[in-house]
Amino acid sequence: MEHVISVLVENKFGVLAHIAGMFSGRGFNIDSLAVGETEDPSVSRMTIVVHGDDRVVEQILKQLNRQVNVIKAVDLSQETHIERELVLLKIATTAKNRREVIEIADIFRSKVVDVQHGSLTIEAVGSGAKIAALIDLLKPYGILELARTGRIAVARG
Amino acid sequence: MEHVISVLVENKFGVLAHIAGMFSGRGFNIDSLAVGETEDPSVSRMTIVVHGDDRVVEQILKQLNRQVNVIKAVDLSQETHIERELVLLKIATTAKNRREVIEIADIFRSKVVDVQHGSLTIEAVGSGAKIAALIDLLKPYGILELARTGRIAVARG
């Protein structure tokens, strides 16, 4: 099963690598990871998406919550939550097909953030499924560069 | 100086923790880190933002480019590039001040993605500075939850 794990940690060096290591040490591959400061610069939030056995994830959560540098770790996939991801996509375009690419971007309510002679850069936000659908539609034009943030999530209500 | 490092890596377990460890091992604190799959599911892109000595960062880049699991590592802060970050913000609101919070969200072209009796959740995309300004304006209402992705970047042109 997929797990979306949100971990509040002290913003100290080594904490991030240590926590990422706790997953890989148990043979888990991290599908995505996003880390940023919170409103308190001494605290960061990590959002980790992994696929794996429920019981093992539960064990890792317990282990996380015992770490000195971890303030709180929760599995958001256990409750209703809002998930979003951001992607920057640089697509190969010509004067001829540029319009087509912009139309696809519009349908996905994404934004053109840069235009060059041979390329167009698009910023898109959505669920993982929406981003995947957009990438799939743009692939035939040629993806020159792609950066995605990995998912972040907050509990609903 | 600030460095925005983009690393294409093989999507294998342990790689992420190993690379994060290369920075913390040299005493660098990672300001933000975003990792997501590329159009090729066997390849992930990590975007790492660090502050630090230019020469040490250059050494780390060289070291990264020598790793078997690293396809390419570049310092995007050395070239013109586009940077974006995504944040989800859950703000404490009452029936009285909800309008005010929505107005602030509108000014920042951010989107209300959830409304509850006592809260509003906002999705915003922008440069690090824009996100910081938004957080600063919303702080007085009370931030209940905040998740940010960390920055991603692509080279311009």
Domains B2-79 and B82-155 share a fold: yes
**pLDDT given for residue A144 in this prediction:** 95
> Within 13 Å, how many C-alpha atoms sit on residue A12's CB side?
9
Q: What is the mean pLDDT of residues B86-94?
A: 97
B45 closest CB neighbour out of A39, A125, A147: A147
Q: What is the mean pLDDT of residues B97-104?
A: 96
The phi and psi torsions of B102 (rounded to 5 degrees) equal -65, -35
Q: Residues B114, B144: contact at Cβ < 8 Å?
A: no
Q: Residues A117, A2: contact at Cβ < 8 Å?
A: no
Which residue on chain A is closest to B91 by alpha carbon?
A157
**Is the pLDDT at A132 greater than 80, yes or no?**
yes
A35 closest CB neighbour out of B23, B90, B150: B150
| Helix or strand run (H / E) with residue B75 | strand B70-75
With H, G, I as helix, E, B as strand and everything else as coil, classify residue A73: strand
Contact A148 B36 (CB under 8 A): yes
Q: What is the mean pLDDT of residues B105-123?
A: 95
Look at domain A2-79 and name its CATH class.
alpha beta
**Is the pLDDT at B128 greater than 90, yes or no?**
no
**pLDDT given for residue B89 in this prediction:** 97
Q: Residues A156, A81: contact at Cβ < 8 Å?
A: yes
With H, G, I as helix, E, B as strand and everything else as coil, classify residue A148: strand
Torsion of CA A46, A156, A89, A122, to 10 degrees: -130
Give residue-wise pLDDT tens across range A52-104: 889 989 999 999 999 999 999 999 998 999 999 999 999 999 999 999 999 99
Rounded to a whole number of angstroms, the distance from the CA of A76 to the nearest CA of chain B is 13
Give residue-wise pLDDT tens across range A21-57: 888 888 887 889 999 989 898 999 999 999 888 998 9
Contact B37 A39 (CB under 8 A): no
**Is the pLDDT at A11 greater than 90, yes or no?**
no
**B82-155 CATH pick, 3.30.70.1150, 3.40.50.2000, 3.30.930.10, 3.30.465.10:** 3.30.70.1150
Contact B154 A39 (CB under 8 A): no
Give residue-wise pLDDT tens across range B134-154: 999 999 999 999 999 999 999
Q: Residues A113, A83: contact at Cβ < 8 Å?
A: no
Give residue-wise pLDDT tens across range B25-67: 888 878 899 999 898 989 999 999 998 889 989 999 999 999 9
With H, G, I as helix, E, B as strand and everything else as coil, classify residue B146: strand
Q: Residues B36, A148: contact at Cβ < 8 Å?
A: yes
Rounded to a whole number of angstroms, the distance from the CA of A35 to the nearest CA of chain B is 5
**pLDDT given for residue A9 in this prediction:** 95
**Is the pLDDT at B87 greater than 80, yes or no?**
yes
In chain A, what is the straight-line distance between the N-terminal and C-terminal CA atoms, in Å?
24
Structure tokens belonging to residue B39:
């159009």
A70 touches chain B (CB under 8 A): no
| Residues in chain A within 8 Å Cβ distance of B141 | none
Task: Identify how many contiguous H helices and E strands chain A contains and give both numbers.
Answer: 4, 9
**Is the pLDDT at A149 greater than 90, yes or no?**
yes
**Is the pLDDT at B157 greater than 80, yes or no?**
no
Which residue on chain A is closest to B116 by alpha carbon?
A157
Q: What is the pTM of this model?
A: 0.92
Rounded to a whole number of angstroms, the distance from the CA of B64 to the nearest CA of chain A is 15
Counted across chains A and B, CB pairs separated by less than 8 A come out at 178
Q: Residues B33, B20: contact at Cβ < 8 Å?
A: yes
Instruction: Pick the residue of A9, A11, A16 with the most B CBs within 10 A to test the interface with B by mutation.
Output: A16
B121 closest CB neighbour out of A13, A30, A154: A154
Q: Where are the domains of chain B?
A: 2-79, 82-155
Which residue on chain A is closest to B14 by alpha carbon?
A24
Give residue-wise pLDDT tens across range B1-25: 899 999 999 988 788 888 988 888 8
Local structure of residue B139 (DSSP, 8 states): G
Name the nearest CA neighbour of A126 among A137, A138, A110, A145: A110
